[in-house]
Amino acid sequence: MAQTEPTMRYRFMRALLICFFLFISCVGMAQSIMGKVVRIIDGDTYDLLTPEQTVMRIRMYGIDAPERSMPFYSKSKDYLASLCFSREVRMEMMTTDRNGRVVGKTFLPDGKEAGEQMILAGMAWHFTRYSSDQNLHEAEQSARKEKRGLWIDADPVAPWDWRRQKRGN
């Protein structure tokens, strides 16, 4: 099926932005961008409208939130929306993932990092496979101890285990 002109333009602009950020990271310049959160995809992914009017899909660094059909999926997504939807944020790009999404830290208007806030509220896990961030580790330990959010369950299933189980079926 032939792609429409806007779809091709969107993909081209997205690829161009990703290349730009990769170039910046190679030369050691600052890797942050201001933008407005215009859509919440789930508890660890959102769309950012840049000053150039380009929409970038952002995967939040160091966290993994419940997948659709998992307990706490809706609560996690809603909590992320309460933190940043329709707000100006600063995103620091860390890398890109295998799906072409920008992976970055998201700083809220009050200066707090959104991923850490998600973990503190018990709405996401620290994704230790890709992050050894001590702040995220401590946030998860605090949420577990206080039984906040998903930690109210006796033995919550981590998203990476749930995905592995689903692939096995």
Summarised one tens digit per residue, pLDDT across range 127-166 is 999 999 999 999 999 999 999 999 999 889 999 999 998 8
**Length of the chain measured in residues:** 169
10: Cβ–Cβ under 8 A, 6 or more apart, which residues? Answer: 55
| 124, 63 contact by CB (below 8 A) | yes
The residues with which 42 forms a beta bridge, in sequence order, are 45
Q: Kindly list the structural domains of the chain, giving each domain's residue range(s) and its CATH number in brackets, ordered by start.
A: 31-168 (2.40.50.90)
pLDDT of residue 22: 53
**Per-chain mean pLDDT for the chain:** 89
State yes or no: is 101 an active-site residue. Answer: yes
Catalytic residue among 59, 113, 116, 140: 59
pLDDT of residue 27: 44
Catalytic residue among 101, 113, 116, 140: 101
State yes or no: is 59 an active-site residue. Answer: yes
Catalytic residue among 39, 67, 92, 148: 67
Helix, strand, coil content of the chain in percent (nearest 5): 40, 25, 35
Q: If residue 167 lies in a helix (H) or strand (E), which one and from where to where? A: helix 159-168
pLDDT of residue 168: 80
pLDDT of residue 138: 98
Compute the distance between CA of residue 120 and CA of residue 34 in angstroms, rounded to an integer: 24
pLDDT of residue 74: 97
Instruction: Report pTM.
Output: 0.82
The pLDDT of residue 169 is above 90:
no
The pLDDT of residue 61 is above 80:
yes
**What is residue 57's three-state secondary structure?**
strand
